Amino acid sequence: MAKPASVMTEDAPVSSTETADHHHDVKHDFHLVDPSPWPFTGALSAFVLTVGAVLWMHGLTFGMVLTLAGFAGVLGTMFVWWRDVIRESRSGAHKEVVNVGLRTGFALFITSEVFFFLAFFWAFFWGALVPPETVAASWPPEGVHAIPPWGIPLLNTMLLLLSGTTLTWAHHEVREGNMKAGFHALLVTVALGSVFLGFQIYEYVHLHHLGMTLQSGVFGSTFYMATGFHGVHVLVGTAFLIVCTMRAAQLTITPEKHVGFEAAAWYWHFVDVVWLFLFVCVYMWGATHHLQVEPLIDVF
């Protein structure tokens, strides 16, 4: 039986161009992505954002410019990268094995986020329970006015729990093919996330007027780093859900193919769970329990 012309033989080797054409003709379930500049622009923007934030925290005005520029670059990269992934999915490139890979990759990403926030909780409890010789032996430290947990923090907790409920409602409607109801549920979820961010900004302004800043010892720095990064995650999750809402309005999400929406839902539920830990540990326990702890010298 004669061999196909596209197959390389010892007598008639195939040119590199023909090999490349043959590679693109292969039909399989795995998606080989095209070269993309977005990983580079995303990494560069994140680097600029990080450097700018550090300089800003050290009182350099130029750091604010770098922070805003890096943040804009991250948002722009998110937009164009999601756009390309959606185009790949609509072209039929995402078979079931690709969908499984996307779900697995996003689950691993959320796992890394768990350890990211674990570092802040570790620092918070370390400062409260095992203060070094140079830290005041009271928690919260003297002169630090922690915000009461039963005001805005409790309200924000109710908002996030409600948003998780409306998002579950949206997920159910999408799986049932009721895209109009799913769209409305997503709109409510986005609105709740936006209100949460508004209240958190108001809380930060109030605390700043009370004199609680990043320089307010371990309590102030861990409080703002933990709750601040959580707020950034709420902002990213809200943007994620806005994209899903737009896709639901355009009917590009279907009951059979909605991996992007599932990823957004997982991310949002993760943000909800992190906030519950923040509310219980940082707001309730950290602000209402006035501990007097003897500092441990030469712990290590």
Q: Among 101-110, 141-150, 263-272, 283-292, which is the least confidently predicted range?
A: 283-292
Question: Which pair of structure tokens corresponds to residue 240?
Answer: 């994620």
Does 3.30.530.20 match the CATH number of domain 36-93? Answer: no
Q: Among 44-58, 180-194, 244-258, which is the least confidently predicted range?
A: 244-258
- pLDDT value at residue 1: 46
Block residue for tokens 């500049």: 37
Domains of the chain, by residue range, sit at 36-93, 95-291
- pLDDT value at residue 13: 46
Looking at per-residue pLDDT, the higher value among 95 and 43 belongs to 43
Instruction: Flag whether the pTM goes above 0.95.
Output: no
- pLDDT value at residue 28: 65
Q: Is the pLDDT of residue 198 over 50?
A: yes
Q: Among 59-68, 123-132, 218-227, which is the least confidently predicted range?
A: 123-132
d(C-alpha 156, C-alpha 200), whole Å? 8
Q: Is the pLDDT of residue 294 over 60?
A: no
**pLDDT-based confidence at residue 171 (cuts at 50, 70, 90):** very high
pLDDT tens-digit readout, 9-33 = 444 444 444 444 444 555 667 777 7
Q: Is the pLDDT of residue 298 over 60?
A: no
Q: What is the mean pLDDT of the chain?
A: 82
Fold entry, domain 95-291: Four Helix Bundle (Hemerythrin (Met), subunit A) (1.20.120)
The mean pLDDT of 156-167, rounded to a whole number, is 95
pLDDT tens-digit readout, 122-161 = 988 888 777 665 555 667 777 777 778 888 999 999 999 9
Q: What share of the chain has pLDDT > 70, as a percent? A: 83
Asked if 131 contacts 137 with a C-beta cutoff of 8 angstroms, the reply is: yes
- pLDDT value at residue 144: 73
d(C-alpha 291, C-alpha 300), whole Å? 23
Q: Is the pLDDT of residue 44 over 50?
A: yes
- pLDDT value at residue 27: 65
Hey, how many other C-beta atoms are within 10 angstroms of the C-beta on 197?
Answer: 16
Looking at per-residue pLDDT, the higher value among 249 and 18 belongs to 249
pLDDT tens-digit readout, 173-190 = 999 889 899 999 999 999
Asked if 202 contacts 152 with a C-beta cutoff of 8 angstroms, the reply is: yes
Looking at per-residue pLDDT, the higher value among 242 and 216 belongs to 242
